Amino acid sequence: MSENINPVPIEQLKTQLNECVEICNEIEKAGIIKQKLKKTLAENLKFEILKYVIYMSALDGVFMDDELKFLDEVLGFKMSRVQIVSFKYENHLNTTDFEKEIPFVFKCFVLADVGKKIKNSIYEGKRAKILIQLYREMGCTYISYNNIVGEAEVECMTKYCNMLNSYIGEFGLSRNEYDTKQVSTYENEEVDVTVLLEEINSLIGLHQVKQDINSIVNLLKIQKIREERGMKGPSVSKHMVFSGNPGTGKTTIARKLAKLYYALGFLSKGQLIEVDRSGLVSGYIGQTAIKVREVVDQALGGILFIDEAYTLTSGKGEGDFGQEAVDTLLKAMEDNRDDLIVIVAGYPDLMEEFLSSNPGLRSRFNKFIFFEDYTPTEQLDILKGMCKSQEYILSNEAEGMALTHFSESYEHRGENYANARDVRNYFEKALSNQAGRLVEMQKENITIDDDTLKTLAKEDMQM
């Protein structure tokens, strides 16, 4: 079951966008922005929303005709696929850094709400929340515009809107009622354990991870049988530590685990809530505990997945509230131990430091699953899967060049090695190279047949 995606009619979306344009004009007129802008605030708003929707589209590497139509009809940007690919790289939308960057115009909306310097405004105290609602409904409508809702796009949209929500919370503004986390739950649905295990076992690589998951499922099955027969079940902590480099499938496995625990009757809903430090820690006294309890409430019945959990205890200076988050989390885990699983994730050495920072962490997280880096051959298989899902094929020469690239990257991998994410970036760059090559062929009046259109050649794989 996918997230609850509720697109709105295009005309309604335009009305909401125009409302935010009015707010931009109001802010500029009031002189709240002191720096000189090259464009109007409204133009900056549309540009930032353009980056937002193109970033979501870039996750699957394909820009459909309906998506191009959406950009033109709603935002007024008439762009070709080649222009969009160039735009993506020019604005660094090929990395996850975009998900962590607060848009400039959004900061201006927050500043206007906090400063309360605009008198007799109908938008008083509501500007930032109105803009979050626009981002969410723009995202919902855009990713469902071609009737194909991708899980990665939904996850990106949810994470982005949650980031904006966390930001306004740090300024004492109330969280947006429209942006409570939209998550998958499986209440009253039949979820087949066998099918879920087949899905996990069919994933590329992750051999030890698969063995660990199958062992967990076997233990849970026997525990369930013992309970049904009135015997005591073994007391096993369900909380886990996922360690490994980025892009090794930790979130994917966590999501599958949430479904498995639900299907086996150990969780009541089976949703996955994913957060990092920003989703748990506030910069004001007393606010961190509130944020943690809110997140835990949303995760009840499912799994709370805390990425880069070591950042909660890495800051030891005065005014750092990470330890407050850990203390509140540990209490919540104890209070809700029958219907909440917490998975903490991050780099292996840093996760060891995290567990050593507090005796309560070490005692509660005693199940470790290590995610190995993908080998060059496995990365090539991932690339082939991406090509197949988007109706591309690799020529023999392109395949050989890709394997060479992955082998060199693997051999010299450092702390920034990102596994499947690197494969995704490589794939997107190849699509960009191919688009440039085909456009040049068009200029020379060379006919482009279907095979040429779907084949990635050797020259496309050069980075």
Task: Take residue 348 and report the two structure tokens written for it.
Answer: 């292996």
pLDDT given for residue 66 in this prediction = 75
Task: Take residue 136 and report the two structure tokens written for it.
Answer: 């969410």
pLDDT given for residue 99 in this prediction = 77
**CB-CB contact of 158 with 298 (8 Å):** no
pLDDT given for residue 180 in this prediction = 36
Question: Could you tell me the domains of the chain?
Answer: 10-179 (no CATH), 193-371 (3.40.50.300), 376-461 (1.10.8.60)
- Sorted by sequence, the CB contacts under 8 Å of residue 375 that are 6+ apart come out as 205, 410
**CB-CB contact of 216 with 389 (8 Å):** no
pLDDT given for residue 203 in this prediction = 93
Angle subtended by helix axes 41-58 and 10-29, to nearest 10: 140
Q: Give the pLDDT means over successive 10-residue stretches in the chain (463 positions).
A: 57 90 93 85 94 78 74 88 80 75 92 82 88 89 64 75 82 51 55 89 93 91 86 80 92 93 92 88 79 91 93 70 90 92 92 89 92 95 91 94 94 83 90 90 89 93 88
**CB-CB contact of 319 with 287 (8 Å):** no
Buried/exposed code over 371-409 (b: 16+ C-beta within 10 A; e: otherwise): bebbebebbbebbbebbeeeebebeeebbebbbebbeeb
β-strand partners of 275? 306
